[in-house]
């Protein structure tokens, strides 16, 4: 099967409710939908989400990168997957989200070519997966009522966004715990918002108050591996690296510095499933846990992330709620949600039959 053309179109997706973290607040997103045409009847689908403040990528940069990638890969055989993925990594520096869209479309085509759902092709099992549900940063009262509403909708794991103000963040988290009671798992994501010493004070205070926190994601600046280690050494809640980890090389350094207990793998950071599997293998070898998450993405690219999540047992936590924030679903097929439970499609490849345009 020959790769003929990489086509791209952008789609504007209004969010059902604003999404607010320590880094940004958005009420709509723009995603790039990718189609790879071949010399067969099969078309491969993929998606990219520009998150400039995390990956440095914008819609124009992704469209430009896709043109360059097209010129590098056009005419190659899809079955030569290893060669394609190595070339995709090497054809330009950075541009991980653009590369992720192409990587998932090639994986989609491999599944179609060999007649298997992608998670099966990768050796995985069908799930289902239980995603957490994100609670945007707001006043303690609003976050408590939002959390209670989400718990009542059937979400048993909530991801609480904090990181702007350490004292207020403690109030936010305690208000949420009080509102939802003891039966709901709470994950905390500070999105780099604290200084290392602040993070230690906040996290230890939460432990002392019996807030019962499952994990804390990215407490300090992405570049501050020493700060991550500082925090990890002084708290008893697992510290998960998100913005700190883009590549397998980042994971190696993190392992060397013993700077995290686990990793949040996102296709938009690492450049696709090919690289994500290397990260998962390294993490497993070093005894780290893995979560699969996403940026603010539609179900097009989150379906690929869900296949990845089903493919390796070291991936034990799922942060794949972004499509639930989206006011429109740009694909037919793909993953299906019933409250927090994600069902993986059993169609070949990603299990997406078309992109609606
Ligand atoms: Mg995060």
Q: In what order do the strands lie in the sheet with 289-293?
A: 133-135, 157-161, 185-189, 213-217, 239-241, 262-266, 289-293, 315-319
Domain boundary among 61, 90, 115: 115
Distance CA 172, CA 160 (A): 9
Q: Ligand 1 centre from 239 Cα, in Å? A: 11
Assess whether 289 and 175 both reside in one domain. yes
What CATH number does the domain containing 14 carry?
3.30.390.10
Assess whether 125 and 230 both reside in one domain. yes
Domain boundary among 90, 115, 140: 115
pLDDT of residue 356: 86
Q: Ligand 1 centre from 62 Cα, in Å? A: 22
On the question of pLDDT at 305 being above 90, the answer is yes
Q: Would you call the peptide bond into 128 cis, given omega within 30 degrees of 0 as the criterion?
A: yes
State the pLDDT confidence band at 46, using cuts at 50, 70 and 90.
Answer: very high
Q: Residue 242: which of 282, 294, 297, 309 has the closest Cα?
A: 294
Assess whether 84 and 130 both reside in one domain. no
Q: Tell me if residue 119 falls in helix, strand or coil.
A: helix
Mean pLDDT value across residues 90-105: 98
Q: Residue 331: which of 304, 307, 298 has the closest Cα?
A: 298
Q: Ligand 1 centre from 233 Cα, in Å? A: 20
Do residues 42 and 287 lie in contact, with contact meaning Cβ atoms separated by under 8 Å?
A: no
pLDDT of residue 294: 95
Q: Ligand 1 centre from 145 Cα, in Å? A: 22
Assess whether 94 and 166 both reside in one domain. no
Assess whether 130 and 75 both reside in one domain. no
* Exposed/middle/buried for residue 296 (C-beta within 10 Å: 0-12, 13-18, 19+): buried
**Domain containing 48: what range?**
3-115
Domain boundary among 54, 85, 115: 115
DSSP strands (E only) in 21-156: 25-38, 43-48, 129-130, 133-135
On the question of pLDDT at 357 being above 80, the answer is no
State the pLDDT confidence band at 18, using cuts at 50, 70 and 90.
Answer: confident
What CATH number does the domain containing 251 carry?
3.20.20.120
Assess whether 23 and 146 both reside in one domain. no
pLDDT of residue 226: 98
pLDDT of residue 23: 82
pLDDT of residue 348: 98
pLDDT of residue 17: 87
Q: Ligand 1 centre from 18 Cα, in Å? A: 17
Q: C-alpha dihedral over 336, 340, 341, 343, to 10 degrees?
A: 20
State the pLDDT confidence band at 299, using cuts at 50, 70 and 90.
Answer: very high
The strand pair at 129-130 and 341-343 is best described as: antiparallel
State the pLDDT confidence band at 355, using cuts at 50, 70 and 90.
Answer: very high
pLDDT of residue 272: 98
Catalytically active residues are 161, 266
Domain total for the chain? 2
Q: Ligand 1 centre from 221 Cα, in Å? A: 12
State the pLDDT confidence band at 25, using cuts at 50, 70 and 90.
Answer: confident
pLDDT of residue 20: 86
């Amino acid at each position: 099967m020959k790769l003929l053309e990489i086509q791209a179109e952008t789609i504007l997706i209004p969010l059902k409710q604003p999404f607010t973290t320590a880094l940004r607040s958005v009420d709509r997103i723009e995603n790039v939908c990718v189609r790879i045409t071949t010399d067969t009847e099969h078309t491969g689908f993929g998606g990219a989400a520009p998150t400039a403040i995390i990956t440095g990528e914008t819609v124009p940069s992704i469209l430009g990168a896709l043109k360059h990638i097209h010129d590098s890969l056009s005419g190659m055989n899809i079955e030569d997957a290893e060669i394609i993925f190595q070339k995709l990594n090497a054809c330009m520096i950075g541009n991980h989200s653009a590369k992720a869209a192409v990587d998932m479309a090639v994986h989609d085509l491999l599944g179609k070519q060999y007649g298997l759902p992608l998670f099966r092709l990768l050796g995985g099992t069908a799930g289902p997966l239980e995603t957490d549900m994100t609670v945007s940063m707001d006043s303690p009262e609003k976050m408590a009522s939002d959390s209670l509403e989400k718990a009542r909708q059937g979400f048993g794991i909530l991801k609480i966004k904090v990181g702007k103000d350490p004292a207020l963040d403690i109030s936010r988290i305690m208000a949420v715990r009080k509102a939802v009671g003891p039966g709901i798992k709470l994950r905390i994501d500070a999105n780099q918002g604290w200084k290392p010493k602040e993070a230690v004070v906040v996290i230890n205070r939460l432990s002392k108050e019996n807030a019962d926190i499952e994990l804390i994601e990215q407490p300090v600046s992405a570049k501050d591996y020493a700060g991550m280690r500082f925090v990890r050494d002084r708290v008893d809640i697992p510290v998960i690296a998100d913005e700190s980890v883009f590549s397998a090389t980042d994971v190696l350094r993190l392992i060397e510095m013993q700077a995290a207990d686990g990793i949040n793998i996102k296709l938009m950071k690492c450049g696709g499933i090919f690289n994500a599997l290397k990260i998962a293998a390294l993490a497993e070898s070093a005894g780290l846990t893995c979560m699969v998450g996403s940026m603010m993405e539609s179900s097009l690219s989150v379906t690929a992330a869900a296949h990845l999540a089903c493919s390796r047992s070291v991936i034990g936590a799922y942060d794949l709620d972004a499509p639930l924030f989206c006011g429109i679903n740009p694909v037919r097929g793909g993953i299906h949600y019933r409250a927090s439970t994600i069902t993986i499609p059993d169609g070949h490849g990603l299990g997406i039959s078309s992109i609606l345009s």
